[in-house]
């Protein structure tokens, strides 16, 4: 074995080289030898090859530049790859692969230390944040959204319930002189498991015994059976994460369809339960602004402003472990085919793209921004500079944001607002 054999074999360790097709492996190896690629260059080329496959684009052999100088080859290859990243995606000819047809997971009930009440896991002082508290009633999610960071925290095939959740909730003392906003939809989907292990019984009881609490259930499901069969305390809010049909069909696997989500929200609003909607992530692709506009309009045709507490907007932000996990999966997704820029140590869209999508979103809800029943709009996990350009106003601190949000929510829920 010559020196380069050793170097090449070391370079492909801990990469997705073996997941590439045999022809791609053979091609990359030949090019590595003939152009004497470095350790890092070999890794980069494997990642590029993996992304092209996942994005259902041409493969590495098709786009590989022909030149005898390595420097020229690498420069041209990176340029071709960046061009594919920065051109808005098209899902027209996109063919899904290895998408799970049904939810397969194991339920585990264990007595976990503590019970997962804490500040929103993605909150930061670097972004304008609402100081949401999150409560992990369940760990991990049965849905399979390609962009979701939960997959990098938990094993997706194991759903964990906390055997002492209900007792711990009963013993939790909140300050009676303060309004709290707690959400249960961060570490899992709030409704997809219904009242399994009595989690909804416990949470409804928690809401009843804490009238100064705004308890938010966030979901992509239409599993509202428990809410239809039980009295829902007035300080409970049900919110749906929505997206266009294009993104739901291609990137939000196993979730309820757009129409099923809207129908479920409509049924709860008919029962007097206040609802809300999260457009997070808004994804850029060909004709995306028009497709989102149609969903925004569908909401305003289906709900009255007085029934809706909030509408939030956010977009894709990736942490490295999620990108790594996506590259390891043998499936198709276009979700990382986007021009990545650094956004507070995460990867996201350029500033201008964000302003375009958020401004369009906000401007499409003009009817819900005036009069007494106005809905509370906010950007989730965004740099504070984007607010002014998108909404025309901004908060100078996270506490100001939280205060304005909770006073608006309390008013819509007919609750007293306690600072
Ligand atoms: S704005 Fe979003 S990320 Fe920030 S605390 Fe609120 S929910 Fe969490």
Boundary of a domain, candidates 86, 115, 143:
86
Going from the Cα of 129 to the center of ligand 1, the distance in angstroms, rounded, reads 5
Residues with CB under 6 A from ligand 1: 120, 122-123, 129-132, 380-381
| Closest atom, ligand 1, to C-alpha of 122 | 3
Domain total for the chain?
Answer: 2
Which among 67, 38, 62 is positioned nearest to 52, based on CA atoms?
62
The two tokens of residue 49 are: 């090859």
Which among 311, 324, 246 is positioned nearest to 88, based on CA atoms?
246
Residue in the block written with tokens 């602004």 = 289
Range of the domain at 42: 3-86
Whether 48 and 140 map to the same domain: the answer is no
Whether 212 and 326 map to the same domain: the answer is yes
| Closest atom, ligand 1, to C-alpha of 132 | 5
Residue 418 lies in a domain: no
- Pairwise CA distance, residues 41 & 37, whole Å: 6
Inter-residue contact 328 to 19 (CB < 8 Å): yes
| Closest atom, ligand 1, to C-alpha of 378 | 1
Which among 255, 338, 305 is positioned nearest to 54, based on CA atoms?
338
Residue 278 lies in a domain: yes
Going from the Cα of 25 to the center of ligand 1, the distance in angstroms, rounded, reads 42
Which among 338, 376, 337, 379 is positioned nearest to 355, based on CA atoms?
379
Going from the Cα of 380 to the center of ligand 1, the distance in angstroms, rounded, reads 5
Look at the alpha carbons of 250, 256, 262, 263 in this order and tell me if their dihedral is positive or negative. positive
Residue in the block written with tokens 């092209």 = 52
Boundary of a domain, candidates 52, 86, 120:
86
pLDDT in tens, the chain (419 residues): 677 888 899 999 989 999 999 999 999 999 999 999 999 999 999 999 999 999 999 999 999 999 999 999 999 999 999 999 998 889 998 988 777 777 678 899 998 777 778 999 888 788 999 999 999 889 989 999 999 877 666 666 789 999 999 999 999 999 999 999 999 988 899 999 999 999 999 999 999 999 999 999 999 999 999 999 999 999 999 999 999 999 999 999 999 999 999 999 999 999 999 999 999 999 999 999 999 999 999 999 999 999 999 999 999 999 888 899 899 988 899 999 999 998 777 899 999 999 999 999 999 999 999 877 889 999 999 999 999 999 999 999 999 999 999 999 999 999 999 97
Beta strands in 149-246 (DSSP E): 158-162, 180-183, 213-219, 236-241
Q: Which residues contact 282 (CB under 8 A, 6 or more apart)?
A: 243, 288, 292, 313, 314, 315, 357, 358, 361
The two tokens of residue 262 are: 């809207």
Whether 177 and 289 map to the same domain: the answer is yes
Residue 152 lies in a domain: yes
The two tokens of residue 345 are: 């140590």
Residue 100 lies in a domain: no
Which among 238, 216, 211 is positioned nearest to 225, based on CA atoms?
238
Inter-residue contact 300 to 363 (CB < 8 Å): no
């Amino acid at each position: 074995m010559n020196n380069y054999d050793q170097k090449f074999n070391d370079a492909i360790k801990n990469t997705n080289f073996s997941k590439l097709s045999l022809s791609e492996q053979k091609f990359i190896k030949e090019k590595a030898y003939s152009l004497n690629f470095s350790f890092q260059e070999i890794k980069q080329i494997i990642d590029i090859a993996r992304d092209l496959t996942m994005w259902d684009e041409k493969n590495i052999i098709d786009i590989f530049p022909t030149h005898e100088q390595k420097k020229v080859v690498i420069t041209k290859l990176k340029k071709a790859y960046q061009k594919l990243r920065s051109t808005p995606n098209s899902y027209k000819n996109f063919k899904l692969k290895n998408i799970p047809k049904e939810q397969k997971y194991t339920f585990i009930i264990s007595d976990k230390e503590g019970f997962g009440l804490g500040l929103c896991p993605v909150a930061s002082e670097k972004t304008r944040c609402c100081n949401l508290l999150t409560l992990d009633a369940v760990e991990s999610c049965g849905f399979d959204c390609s962009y979701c960071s939960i997959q990098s925290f938990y094993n997706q095939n194991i759903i964990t319930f906390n055997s002492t959740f209900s007792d711990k909730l009963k013993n939790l003392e909140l300050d009676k002189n303060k309004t709290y906003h707690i959400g249960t939809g961060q570490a899992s989907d709030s409704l997809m498991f219904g009242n399994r292990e009595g989690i909804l019984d416990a949470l409804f009881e928690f809401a009843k015994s804490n009238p100064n609490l705004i308890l938010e259930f966030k979901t992509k499901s239409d599993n509202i059976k428990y809410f239809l069969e039980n009295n829902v305390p007035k300080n409970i809010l049900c919110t749906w994460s929505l997206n266009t049909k294009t993104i739901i069909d291609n990137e939000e696997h196993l979730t309820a369809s757009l129409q099923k989500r809207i129908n479920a929200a409509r049924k709860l609003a008919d029962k007097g339960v206040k609802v809300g909607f999260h457009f997070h992530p808004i994804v850029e692709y060909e004709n995306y602004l028009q497709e989102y506009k149609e969903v925004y309009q569908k909401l305003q045709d289906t709900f009255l402003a007085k029934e809706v507490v909030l509408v939030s907007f956010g977009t894709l932000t990736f942490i490295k472990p999620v990108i790594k996990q996506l590259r390891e999966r043998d499936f198709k997704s276009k979700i990382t085919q986007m021009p990545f820029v650094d956004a507070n140590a995460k990867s996201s869209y350029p500033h201008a793209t964000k302003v375009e999508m958020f401004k369009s979103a906000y401007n499409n809800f003009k009817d819900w921004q005036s009069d007494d029943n106005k809905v509370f709009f906010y950007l989730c996990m965004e740099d504070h500079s984007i607010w002014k350009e998108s909404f025309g106003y901004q908060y100078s601190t996270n506490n100001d944001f939280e205060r304005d949000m909770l006073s608006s929510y309390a008013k819509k829920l007919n609750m007293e607002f306690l600072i």
